[in-house]
Amino acid sequence: MWQEASDACDKIIGFGQLSLEPDYFSNFKVNNEGSKENIFVIVIDNIYTPNAMIFHQMCLQTLSQQTYGIVDDCWDGFCAMEEHYALYEDQDVRKKSWLEGPQFDSSGNPLMLSPNRQLTYRPQVKALYNEYDPALLDEGVRFVKYEYESGLMNGMNNDYAILSLCGCTIDERGGFVPFRKDFRGFTLF
């Protein structure tokens, strides 16, 4: 079965229409229609499909609106916890899909949660729900794989990649060896 998967990937890649983008994140830009890596996408448009893709609202803390020029309210919702974030090695470019560290507005000024505390996203989340010791507003790293365009309101304009080339090989044991050295594989997002 693994060999059949490898052969099928080689056949599709052999058509010469697909290739890995030099910049992994170009697949997730607002204008990603020309991606040679994305195979099947859902077209998202904030006018014709409003609120279809609202990653910025679901995961960013409200102050992050000042970083990206976002008009929509941000809900400070989901984040990646430390266990998930730790799965990425430091040299894995996909780790940059998560926002970590001290945060600044678009002019470089610190975003302050209080006069003495800067907004600093970090992987550690002490509690999902504990009314006596709740999680802080900046616990957990935040999703930024898709580009957040300035003026964002009513949802995003990025096409959502459902099927894309991925950088992995199918090894002799029939397992996937991750990341973009040889791209004999596809991934569903």
The winner for highest mean pLDDT among 21-30, 98-107, 165-174 is: 98-107
Considering the entire predicted model, what is its pTM?
0.78
pLDDT above 90 (res 27): no
CA 158, 52, 145, 108 torsion-angle sign = positive
User: Are 39 and 95 found together in one domain?
Assistant: no
139/129 Cα distance (integer angstroms): 12
Mean pLDDT, residues 165-188: 48
- Looking at the structure, do residues 84 and 126 belong to the same domain, yes or no? yes
Amino acid at residue number 52: A
59 lies in a domain? yes
Question: Are 129 and 166 in the same domain?
Answer: no
| pLDDT at position 175 | 52
The per-residue pLDDT for 4 is 77
Q: What residue numbers bound the domain in which 131 lies?
A: 53-151
Percent of all residues in the chain with a pLDDT value above 90, rounded to a whole number: 38
On whether both 146 and 86 belong to a single domain, the answer is yes
Bridge partners of 41, per DSSP, are 161
**Pick from 57, 64, 53, 62: which is nearest to 28 by CA?**
53
Question: The tokens 């204008």 sit on which residue?
Answer: 31
- Name the helix (H) or strand (E) containing 99: strand 98-99
Please count the structural domains in the chain: 2
Banded model confidence at residue 183, pLDDT cuts 50, 70, 90: very low
Domain identity same for 108 and 172: no
Residues 110, 165 within the same domain: no
Structure tokens at 91: 């040299």
Is residue 48 included in any domain, yes or no? no
